[in-house]
Structure formats: C-alpha cells, structure tokens
Amino acid sequence: MKERVLKTIREYKLIEKNDNILVGVSGGPDSMCLLHVLVEIQDVIPFNIFVAHVNHGVRGKDADEDEEFVRLTCEKMNIPFYSEKVDMNGYARKHKMSSEEAGRKLRYDFFNEVLFEIGGGKIAVAHNKNDQAETLIMRIIRGTGIDGLKGMKFLNGNIIRPLLNVTRKEIEEYISKNNIEVRIDKTNLEPKYLRNRIRLEIIPYIEREYNPNFLDGLSRLSRTANLDCNFLDKYSSNIYKKIVKTESKNSIILNRNDFLKEHKSIKQRIIKLCLMKVADDINGITEKNISDIMVLFDKGDTGKSIDLSNGLIAKTSYGEIIIQKRENKEFRSFSYKMRENGVNYVPECKCYFEMKAVPIEKVKLNFKNMYIKSFDYDKIYGELIIRNRISGDKFKPYGMNGTKKLKDYFIDEKIPKNLRESIPIIADEKNILWIVGYRTNEEYKITSNTKKVLVIKCIKK
C-alpha cells in the first residue's frame, strides 16, 4: 500500500518536501488507512501532518464517540488535532441544498479555516476508486455531460486524493493486516440513500454478472474525460481572452461576432466560464439555462435578456453579449475635485487619474490612446472635477461643429445602458472636457495658439 500510494503522490505531485498536509479523518476505514499510510510515507518525504474532524451533528452519541476516537488516535500518534461540530441538516434546510452538499460545504469551510491557522498547505481526503465509480454512476443516472464524467481529480486546487487509485477492498485488507482500529458509520449501510444503493447493490451486481474489472473501466473513462475536458477548457479560455471586451467582478462583455464564429461546444464552455467568473455560486445554473443563453446570443436582438438563478442576467446589446449580476439598486452618483500635479482615485469606476500642466513644447501629443488626453490649459474655467453623467449633459464632440446631448452620444456610440452611469467624465465649472475612454470636447483642443497643456491620464486599477 505504501509504495502504491507513494507512486500516486509522485506521479501527480501531490506532496512536496516540508508541505503542511491536513488530513480529513472521520474515523472510518478509508480515512484511517490514509492517515496511517501518510505517516509511513513521512520516512520517504519529510512533511507535516495535521488532522481535522467534523462532527456533522446527525448521529448523536455515535458521532460524539467518532470525534473522541479520532482525537485519542491523534494523541497517541502525536499529531495535531482540530475538530468542529456543525448542524448539517439545519444548514441544508436554510440554504436549500441536499444534506450531502451541505456536509461537503461545511467540511471544506472548516478545513480551509484550519489551513489558514497552520500557515497554509493542502487538504488530503480519502476518496478511493470505489468512491470515484459511485460518483460517476450517480451522475450518469441523474444525467450528465462530458464534464460530469471527469469525476474527482487526484489534485484539485489545494485538495489531494492519494487513495484514488486504491479500491475499498484493498483498504479493508490494509486495515485488517495492520490491526488498525476504525469506526463504522452505520448510515453507510442504509439503502435509502442512492450512493449507498450504488455501493451495496449496483456495483457488486455489475462486477458479478458482467465485468469483474468494472471499477478499472470507469477509472479509465474518468481519465480520458479529464484529458479531453482539460484541452477543451484551455482552448476555450484562450478564445475567451481574445473576444472579451470588458471583465469585472459584476459583468463580462464579449464581442458577439467573434463569439458566433466558434463551434457550439466552445461557445457553451465560454458561457460557463463567464458564469463562473461573475456568479458567487453556479449550482443553480442548469443545462437549459446554458441552452437558452446560446439561443439568445445566436439571435442577437439588442435589448433582449434572460433572468437566470443566483441573481444573474444574460443579454445582448449593440453587437455585444453580456453576462452580469442583476442590479439591486441604481448606480450611485459621484463627483470629486481633481488635484493638479497629483493622483486622483475614483473608487466607483476603479480608476486612477494623473493630471499635470506642462509647456506646449514639452508635450508629445498622442491622439490614438483613448486613456491619455491633452487640453489647452488656458481654456479651462475654474476647478476640474471627475463625475458621472447628470441630466442635461451636453458637449461639443471633438471634430464636430455643433453640440450634442450626452444621452444621444451614448446611444450613437452604442454604449450599453448598464455602463453609462459608471463612465467617468472630466468637467470644469462650465463644460465637459472628456468622456473618459471616448471623446473629448472640441472647445478644449490644442491649437497653434496653445502655450500650456493639461495632460490627463486614466489608469484602470
């Protein structure tokens, strides 16, 4: 067992020298096997072991005895021990999720709290080859795509699974051979849970009647799906970087024409990527949601939108496709006085503004950069401010003779409504100088009579 697990650790680079490894231990055969094997492997790879145990509060006295058992085991083995008692069923009801989902969320939240306390590291969990098979079968029964066939990874962020190549039978043999005391969770034997029925009935039946190597076959399927999905995800991510126009924690805007050029498979992955970037939680997003978004984006009717779960909206606007959080309140107005020869930060648009006045002969005019603009200093009236738009705003766009309402300018430039309130505007006490990122005012342009220039630079955070 030691050599088998050590091979997996080296192949997937699960543990490095001097790592902190926090082992999730329930007291059952799987986690006790993992704990003892990792202690053996410390002779080969020097690293630090810590143990965390979560009492889910659902099995009364048995759960309390499990916690005490793990605590005493760690005391005997001289391993630091951390535990927490939670109300799994109460959390599940409150957050409208299954008990299994709630238990997982609470466990990993606690594990990460402990990791922070010990100075970082990795979380080792005892999922094995049988667990992998059970997970895949559950997903197939409920309905899944190729991503669902990936199963669990040996290394997923800071989570490692050193036993994923080991069967439950091999674990039981290791426990028996080494006389390791374990706790048995009787709920794992109750057929009322789907996972238990898969473990106790479906897998043994398939192995007995059809294929004794069924677990190995599912393991190969998972590895193949992982390989293909990793390629598709990487390819889709590269395409996303090429077609994204703006990205923030609240919204993503893509170029629709570039998006439509891609294969349907890639478009679906790009949509999922956008949802993951913007949403706090995508558990409520269904395949039907993805399909509806695809139809919306393919049609491209400006102003059309779809309300998704978890406070998200997908919509189209002037050749752009947008996924964003639903706005609960209007954008707050802002206005700041600008400091000359200094740096001004505007939190509402997450931008820094540098402003300095220089003689004309020291200025290199750059008309192409939309975030560095120069103005005739002597034409500026009073103090400068940075603000967002206000009702009745108008200006004389650079290169034009007449004035234009700012509202009409935004419409002509096809700027989405949800972005208009957040666009910073530089103005003096009479007029607008600059719609930042867009047009300047003709009345403040540099001419042959200009002697002093005000240079303003916008830097996005």
Annotation: binding site: 26-31
Going by C-alpha positions, the residue among 25, 15, 22, 49 that lies closest to residue 114 is 22
Q: Are 387 and 427 in contact (CB under 8 A)?
A: yes
As a three-state string, the secondary structure of the chain is CHHHHHHHHHHCCCCCCCCEEEEECCCCHHHHHHHHHHHHHCCCCCCEEEEEEEECCCCHHHHHHHHHHHHHHHHHHCCCEEEEECCHHHHHHHHCCCHHHHHHHHHHHHHHHHHHHHCCCEEECCCCHHHHHHHHHHHHHHCCCHHHHHCCCCEECCEECCCCCCCHHHHHHHHHHCCCCCCCCHHHHCCCCHHHHHHHHHHHHHHHHCCCCHHHHHHHHHHHHHHHHHHHHHHHHHHHHHHEEEECCCEEEEEHHHHHCCCHHHHHHHHHHHHHHHCCCCCCCCHHHHHHHHHHHHHCCCCCEEECCCCEEEEEECCEEEEEECCCCCCCCCEEECCCCEEEEECCCCEEEEEEEEEHHHCCCCCCCCCEEEEEHHHCCCCCEEECCCCCCEECECCCCCCEEHHHHHHHCCCCHHHHCCCCEEECCCCEEEECCCCEEHHHCCCCCCCEEEEEEEEEC
The pair of structure tokens assigned to 435 is 């719609």
Q: Which segments are annotated as binding site for ATP?
A: 26-31
The pair of structure tokens assigned to 129 is 């080859």
